[in-house]
């Protein structure tokens, strides 16, 4: 064992997975744990995959992804979010956003570099930074509504800072940056030479306003790598399709990592993704509407219980403060599971800054959610 990579050995399995595995021992529990839409993949997308299999379109594709898919992706994201990227040189099809994050960060980072990660944060960022020999640096956003501000950004930049990871809407808090906030952040970034990894996987699940990408602000494009994917917008978590949008010189480097890690994304999934891009423009709409209604139910209900919560503006997560219970986030989640048969994720799965919170995923049927909230209400009342 001692000969194995010490960085890998120090990595931990994500706290989300650990807790989800524990929940498997409670078959009667209502699970609000996993970041997975409860809708099936749209029928037209499944059909396209079945046809691809029947037609034998099951061979390797170009490393960057099918040219037709990259063209469709370019059109889709240009129309939706004004992301203007060349399909031949600036877009890659990856094995999910997870893989997109991996090749983006590894392309940028050298040992000793620092990467700013506003926290509490999705647990997928930090390990990739560490694997590249670089150092993650948390920005504490708890007093700023879970958002990084120009002041908190500036306070953490030094000569080793290479990049910042920005997610909007974010996991686990559901907060999203407004156009004004992004404009101010762009102002703070302009005098620096930082790269920005923009995790926009939840952009179609934005309740308040149309999603805006920081990459579209003046002087931002050259420093941004935009991460997208179909897991959330088209309920395609198992198909493993993600995208990167980045200037040609960065993409030319990333494609090498893509080639040597996966060769290409699954051809069948790529044909499914092509259908999603060409005919699935409105697939996310009913999901977004359902999540917005669920969000309203969750926020109103948690506030009635006396729990503090920053209102989520997108995705499908709520991140209430449970510190008044006097329990650690692990203890709270375990007791809730054992006593009330409801599973949520302890906040410490999102780093030390997540301690004192729990994450509820409200990607589920409203009736199930209502029942879970009632049980949580009784549990909190009895504390």
Phi, psi dihedrals of residue 114, rounded to the nearest 5°: -115, 145
Provide the mask over 103-122, with x wherever binding to ligand PLP is found by CB under 6 A and - wherever it is not. Answer: -------------------x
With beta carbons less than 8 A apart as the criterion, state whether 226 and 30 touch.
Answer: no
Contacting ligand PLP (CB under 6 A), which of 65, 242, 314, 347? 242
Nearest approach, Cβ of residue 101 and ligand PLP (Å): 6
Contacting ligand PLP (CB under 6 A), which of 83, 189, 201, 349? 201
Q: For residue 115, give the 3-state DSSP assignment.
A: strand
Q: How many residues bind ligand PLP (CB under 6 A)?
A: 14
Contacting ligand PLP (CB under 6 A), which of 15, 37, 65, 96? 96
Question: Nearer Cβ to ligand PLP, position 12 or 331?
Answer: 12
> CA 300 → CA 144, 306, 358, distances in Å?
21, 10, 16
Residue 104, token pair as written in the block: 């983006």
Place of tokens 């920053």: 310
β-pair type (358-361, 224-229): unpaired
Q: Taking CB under 6 A as the rule, does residue 98 contact ligand PLP?
A: yes
Contacting ligand PLP (CB under 6 A), which of 41, 104, 161, 171? 171
Q: Taking CB under 6 A as the rule, does residue 290 contact ligand PLP?
A: no
Question: Nearer Cβ to ligand PLP, position 62 or 124?
Answer: 124
User: What are the respective helix, strand and coil percentages of the chain, to the nearest 5?
Assistant: 45, 15, 40
With beta carbons less than 8 A apart as the criterion, state whether 181 and 151 touch.
Answer: no
Contacting ligand PLP (CB under 6 A), which of 20, 63, 135, 237? 237
Residue with smallest beta-carbon separation from ligand PLP: 96
Contacting ligand PLP (CB under 6 A), which of 15, 30, 31, 35? 35
Residue 151, token pair as written in the block: 């002041």
Nearest to 152 by CA among 188, 196, 179, 186: 188
CA dist., res. 247 & res. 249, Å (int):
6
Phi, psi dihedrals of residue 190, rounded to the nearest 5°: -50, -45
Return the H-helix or E-strand segment holding 250. Answer: helix 248-262
Nearest approach, Cβ of residue 98 and ligand PLP (Å): 3
Return the H-helix or E-strand segment holding 317. Answer: strand 317-318
With beta carbons less than 8 A apart as the criterion, state whether 109 and 85 touch.
Answer: no
Q: Taking CB under 6 A as the rule, does residue 126 contact ligand PLP?
A: no
CA dist., res. 35 & res. 361, Å (int):
6
Residue 358, token pair as written in the block: 């729990």
Q: Taking CB under 6 A as the rule, does residue 363 contact ligand PLP?
A: no
Q: Taking CB under 6 A as the rule, does residue 229 contact ligand PLP?
A: yes
Question: Nearer Cβ to ligand PLP, position 213 or 231?
Answer: 231
Pick the stretch among 56-64, 96-104, 273-281, 299-307 that binds ligand PLP (CB under 6 A): 96-104
Q: Taking CB under 6 A as the rule, does residue 199 contact ligand PLP?
A: yes
Task: List 321's β-bridge partners, or say none.
Answer: 308, 357
Pick the stretch among 92-100, 243-251, 266-274, 366-374 that binds ligand PLP (CB under 6 A): 92-100
Pick the stretch among 90-98, 261-269, 322-330, 331-339 that binds ligand PLP (CB under 6 A): 90-98
Q: Taking CB under 6 A as the rule, does residue 377 contact ligand PLP?
A: no
Nearest to 28 by CA among 317, 257, 340, 369: 340
Interface ranges with ligand PLP (CB under 6 A): 35, 96-98, 122, 124, 167, 171, 199, 201, 229, 231, 237, 242
């Amino acid at each position: 064992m001692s000969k194995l990579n010490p960085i890998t050995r120090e990595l931990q399995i994500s706290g989300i997975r650990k807790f989800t595995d524990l929940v498997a021992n409670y078959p009667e529990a209502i699970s609000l744990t996993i970041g997975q839409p409860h809708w099936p993949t749209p029928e037209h997308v499944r059909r396209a995959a079945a046809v691809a299999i029947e037609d034998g379109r099951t061979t390797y594709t170009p490393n960057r992804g099918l040219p037709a898919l990259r063209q469709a992706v370019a059109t889709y994201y240009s129309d939706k979010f004004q992301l203007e990227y060349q399909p031949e040189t600036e877009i890659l099809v990856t094995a999910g956003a997870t893989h997109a994050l991996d090749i983006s960060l590894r392309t940028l980072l050298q040992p000793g570099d620092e990467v700013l990660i506003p926290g509490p944060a999705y647990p997928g960022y930090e390990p990739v930074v560490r694997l590249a020999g670089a150092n993650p640096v948390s920005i504490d956003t708890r007093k700023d509504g879970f958002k990084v501000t120009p002041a908190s950004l500036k306070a953490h930049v030094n000569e080793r800072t290479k990049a910042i990871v920005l997610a909007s809407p974010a996991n686990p808090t559901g907060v999203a940056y407004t156009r004004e906030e992004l404009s101010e952040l762009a102002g703070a970034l302009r005098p620096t030479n930082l790269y920005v990894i923009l995790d926009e996987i939840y952009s179609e699940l934005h309740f308040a306003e149309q999603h805006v990408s920081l990459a579209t602000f003046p002087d931002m494009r050259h420093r941004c790598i935009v991460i997208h994917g179909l897991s959330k917008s088209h309920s395609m978590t198992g198909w493993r399709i993600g995208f990167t949008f980045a200037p040609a010189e960065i993409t030319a480097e990333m494609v090498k990592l893509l080639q040597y890690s996966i060769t290409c994304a699954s051809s069948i999934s790529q044909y499914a993704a092509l259908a999603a891009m060409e005919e699935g423009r409105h697939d996310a709409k009913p999901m977004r509407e359902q999540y917005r209604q669920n969000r309203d139910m969750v926020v109103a209900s948690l506030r009635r219980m006396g729990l503090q919560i920053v209102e989520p503006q997108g995705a499908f997560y709520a991140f209430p403060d449970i510190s008044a219970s006097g329990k650690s986030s692990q203890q709270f989640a375990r007791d809730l599971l054992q006593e009330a048969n409801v599973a949520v994720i302890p906040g410490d799965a999102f780093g030390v800054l997540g301690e004192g919170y729990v994450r509820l995923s409200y990607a589920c049927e409203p009736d199930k959610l209502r029942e879970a909230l009632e049980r949580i209400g009784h549990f909190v009342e009895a504390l």
